[in-house]
Chain A
């Protein structure tokens, strides 16, 4: 379980970035985090694995505390971070080396490495690209290699920090599919995004505004919350529900909802 307990963070004292943020994420949950540019989302991601440390309050992961220096290594093994530009993370010349690199740092024995590498690349459907050069892949493929490199280290939480924002629509779909599969296999997923359609796959959404949590609940409840309409642009599925006055739960596939309603009448 991940716990944010009254967390505060600032770079300069007069500009607080994160203010008194408290929440818990249970093991196996899929949580989306949304909020405007500058609302503190990326800072929050970096607080999760101790890249940044709280000025006040605590971030705990399964009894480990990011403020305890001895815990940091274990926390970073458990939390995988996927960024917007996967290229920033690449340091080797083949996909295979890229995935192996993290394992070497963890001093994983040789014989254990290959099964882990293959498993990780299979999970993101990149197993046929072992010898490819990371820099020559498409944006979506690069992002999948970055995910595989992290998966091979067997984290318990994956944090995606706007990992889909530079991708084209098809690549975005592919990455979202990978996220859903990983979630089903039991991983905890934290997905920071500007794409409102992507949060419909999440169990729960946190809305961050000026460094504080303005909302914590299900995606449908978020878009039904009238007091937040000035903060949000609802995704197409929600706009469709509103335009047609649909009084049915928001499904993950609006086409199915429309087809079902049509055929029932």
Chain B
């Protein structure tokens, strides 16, 4: 399963909001999309989902053009799941079960083993089956967010777009949610498009990173290459480095040594930094 864009431009109200974008979205990857507000991240996500009817350039799925309607407009791509910002605002049923059953009906159009599927997707999102009969209004913010994401996952999307899924969540709920999405993505070998402002989360979870800057794709590369080798791209887009990477740079500067952690994840960076720190023999007796 490969989605590809070739030389795609999107105009809105006479202004080009995306300019000559070419990229490939590979199966099984966690791809993070970063950039300032207004850089084109959400337009890109909407384009992928088929929510932008007309644009110039090519959009293909496994080398085949995606279907269009009789007027030549792009259609919504059903096998892509889209979790909007604050998705819990779209919950409207009176119980969690009804909400998920509704999503299942419209997205899959079938009435198979409804209950088992709903329980399975609840479980994937770390929600207890006890909550099935609860009113969404009794749930905490983190639980509501999960129900909303579960209602997208129930269609078993090939590719899942998450637009700032953790905004407004407390840190524990944030980490739990990201871990659950990663477990879902890995076990099913799905693709995740993760739009985020939290560079620490981007460095922790991504296989690849796409940087958007003023309507252009500045770069798409592996997270390790970006954060350990090519941080100049971050500077160019005016984006902060993840704090562990900032630490790495500082220690490199102080020690005059090049430090090579195995990945850009915090744990791997901290391990290297600790050994350099200890080698310096810094005492901690106050």
Contacts and interface: CB of A to CB of B under 8 A. Distances in A.
B16 interface: no
A255 B247 CA distance: 8
Given A194-B169, A244-B274, A258-B247, A138 B283 contact: no
Contacts of A247: 284-286
B173 A36 contact: yes
Nearest to A140: B37
Contact of A259 (B250, B282, B285): B250
B221 interface: no
A265 B282 contact: yes
B21 to A, nearest CB: 21
B280 A248 contact: no
B171 to A, nearest CB: 4
A64 B99 CA distance: 46
Contacts of B281: 265
Q: On chain B, which size bracket covers the interface? A: 35 or more
A265 B282 CA distance: 6
Given A168-B37, A233-B171, A38 B141 contact: yes
B129 interface: no
A36 B62 CA distance: 43
Nearest to B139: A38
Interface string B242-278: 0110110011001100000000001000100110010
A258 B250 contact: yes
Given A168-B197, A236-B243, A248-B286, A84 B168 contact: yes
B36 interface: yes
B167 interface: yes
Interface string A162-197: 100111111100000000000000000000001010
Interface in A207-265: 231-233, 236, 239-240, 243-248, 254-255, 258-259, 261-265
Contacts of B282: 244, 261-262, 264-265
B38 interface: yes
A239 B244 CA distance: 10
B173 to A, nearest CB: 6
Interface residues on A, range: 35 or more
Nearest to B200: A236
Contact of A37 (B141, B175, B200, B244): B141
Nearest to A167: B197
B36 A262 contact: no
A232 B280 contact: no
A139 interface: yes
A259 B167 contact: no
A261 B240 CA distance: 24
A102 B277 CA distance: 54
B66 interface: no
A35 interface: yes
Contacts of A194: 168-171, 174
A61 to B, nearest CB: 28
A169 B197 CA distance: 7
Interface string B174-218: 110000000000000000000001111000000000000000000
Contacts of A170: 36, 238, 240
Nearest to A236: B243
A168 B199 CA distance: 10
Contacts of A254: 247
Given A162-B168, A239-B266, 6 more contacts: A35-B170, A39-B170, A170-B36, A196-B171, A233-B174, A262-B282
Interface of B: 36-38, 140-142, 167-175, 197-200, 238-240, 243-244, 246-247, 250-251, 254-255, 266, 270, 273-274, 277, 280-286
15 contacts: A36-B170, A37-B140, A38-B141, A38-B142, A138-B37, A139-B37, A162-B168, A194-B170, A232-B171, A233-B171, A243-B273, A244-B273, A244-B282, A263-B254, A265-B283
